[in-house]
A and B are shown apart, each in its own frame.
Chain A
Amino acid sequence: MAKITFIQHNGAEQTCDGSPGMSVMETAIKNMVPGIDADCGGACACATCHVYVEPEWVDKAGPRNPMEEDMLDFAFDVQDSSRLSCQIKVTDALDGLRVRVPAKQF
């Protein structure tokens, strides 16, 4: 089990239990975290599960994969810390992960 914290645009925080093997997006949907739309259900095909990984977690969360990099073209306000949360797999090493949810996915 890994604790994952979602920080809303207004600063509100929600910490959820993520199971290894699930994606960060699935963890958000399961816990009804607002602002993660995930239109395509995790196929890396819509860019509506965009999150910003907090600086101290960027390295641990790992680099974007090429498909994700392409899909981020369809996200708004892409930053160095931008990831699609369907492409971050929960692992024990990510226990404590903190990600920010954009004000609007689109």
Chain B
Amino acid sequence: MSDVITTDAVIIGAGPCGLFAVFELGLVDVKCHVVDILDRPGGQCAELYPEKPIYDIPALPIVTGAELTSRLLEQIKPFGAEFHYNQMVTELIKHGDNDFELKTDGGLVFRSKVVVIEAGGGSFQPKKPPIPGIDSYEGTSVFYSVKKMEAFRGRDVLIVGGGDSALDWTINLQPIAKSMTLLHRRDDFRAAPDSVKKMRELVAEGKMQFRLGQVTGLKGEAGVLSAATVKGNDGATFDIATNTMLPFFGLTMKLGPVAEWGLNLHENLVPVDTAKFETSTPGVFAIGDINTYPGKLKLILSGFHEAALMAQQAFKYKNPGERLLFQYTTSSSSLQKKLGVN
């Protein structure tokens, strides 16, 4: 068992509004840990549109998702929040008023006074191709991620896809797999050119195969795959023998475990009030795209506002009975001290 991490607030989601929540909570001395299922901060800004411009962030006429993320990280640096990536919060248990326990799929356990759900469109999870019968092979012959490379030693591996994940795992698993085949719908890749070059070298050396086509069916029994049926680009159908298939078709957003935490939900969104952005469970807040209220707009700037108001109530939960003095960062020496500028 891991040690329990005790903190004031756990923010679920490192999207832009989760990052800004660190800032607003920091100003009122609420210490945070941030958990995200991705391997880096930014949420949709990092996963969906790092290179694409955003035009509606106040005072930034044009900014990319990646740049917005890095600017937010710079802005929240003084508050020393701790980040936990590649972790999905699976359980949220209320032990009492302002006493929550959170567990992640990676074995982390938190105990906090408040919880801020900033889960956007839900957690990013691998896309599962709708191949008939694929469910019955999942976890035995079909895998959507590589947790331990050793599990693939000596296997006849078929990797499907043409992005960085597909190419990286082709190269990394090839030395330990019994055989390696990469299947992609075209002879072009949206992956790092260096990885593509390495893959082509392996093919040239006869160490793996590259085939063109798309999987249409699976053959096997009792959860053990024997072959994938593939439609080639010329329309002809052929089989590729394999006992281990790894499809890499990117990520999609699923609401995920949030649905199981006893919160009121409305069409996969979490209803909140518009004064504190608190859910039906006092002490649990929801900000950003995941919440809903009359007039809700799914804009980053709306989430920033929600973070600021949420922080006021979070302060009250951390410091019962204490009055929070409203201050401006421009003029307050105590806020400036926290920001490390004074």
- Across the interface, do B127 and A74 meet the contact criterion of CB distance under 8 Å? yes
B92 CB → nearest A CB, Å: 25
Contacting A at CB under 8 A, from B19-76, are 44, 48-49, 52
B146 proximal to A (CB < 8 A): no
Bitwise, B169-194 to A at CB < 8 A (1) or not (0) is 00000000000000011101110000
- Across the interface, do A106 and B249 meet the contact criterion of CB distance under 8 Å? yes
Residues of A that sit less than 8 Å from B by CB: 37, 39-40, 43, 45-48, 69-78, 103-104, 106
- Across the interface, do A104 and B130 meet the contact criterion of CB distance under 8 Å? yes
- Across the interface, do A74 and B48 meet the contact criterion of CB distance under 8 Å? no
- Across the interface, do A45 and B121 meet the contact criterion of CB distance under 8 Å? no
25 contacts between A and B (CB under 8 A): A40-B48, A40-B49, A43-B48, A43-B49, A45-B48, A45-B49, A46-B48, A47-B249, A47-B250, A70-B188, A71-B190, A72-B185, A73-B161, A73-B162, A73-B184, A73-B185, A74-B161, A74-B250, A76-B130, A76-B249, A78-B185, A104-B130, A106-B129, A106-B130, A106-B252
B214 proximal to A (CB < 8 A): yes
Bitwise, B117-139 to A at CB < 8 A (1) or not (0) is 00001000001111000000000
Residues of A near B214 (CB, < 8 A) are 76-78
Contact of B44 among A40, A74, A77, A103 (CB under 8 A): A40
Residues of B near A47 (CB, < 8 A) are 249-250
A62 CB → nearest B CB, Å: 19
State in angstroms the CA–CA spacing of A24 and B243 once bound together. Answer: 40
B163 proximal to A (CB < 8 A): yes
Residues of B near A71 (CB, < 8 A) are 190
State in angstroms the CA–CA spacing of A53 and B128 once bound together. Answer: 24
Task: State whether A39 and B190 are in contact (beta carbons under 8 Å apart), knowing that A45-B52, A77-B214, A104-B130 are contacts in the complex.
Answer: no
